[in-house]
Amino acid sequence: MSKQAQHWEKTRGLLIVTLAIWFVFSIGIFLFGAEMESVGGPFGYPLTYWFTCQGSLGIFVILIFWFANRQEKIDEEFGFSEKGDD
């Protein structure tokens, strides 16, 4: 397999992992909104409420930075990263 094909395979793998995490916290958990309601969440908020106003939002922020770092590593591994800028 060519270098480029390997790079794309890894990139696609990272995409699938990223979208899976995204799916869980944007859609998956809200299938159980009513069930989670009686569970206590961080800072004493009801868990469903916490996820909708802080939890999922914060997880998305972290997820994007994590994704960006992983993708950079993949690009570097195959020598496809850009040089000399931020």
Rule CB under 8 A: is residue 19 a binding residue for another protein? yes
Number of residues located near another protein, criterion CB under 8 A:
48
Residues 48-77 that bind another protein (CB under 8 A): 48-49, 52-54, 56-58, 60-61, 63-65, 67-68, 71-72, 75
Rule CB under 8 A: is residue 82 a binding residue for another protein? yes
H-helix segments, the chain: 3-26, 33-36, 47-50, 56-77
Dist. CA 5–CA 73, nearest whole Å: 16
CB of 1 to another protein, least distance (A): 14
Q: Whats the size of the chain, residue-wise? A: 86
Residues 27-46 that bind another protein (CB under 8 A): 27, 30-34, 37, 43-46
CA dihedral (54, 57, 61, 63) positive or negative: positive
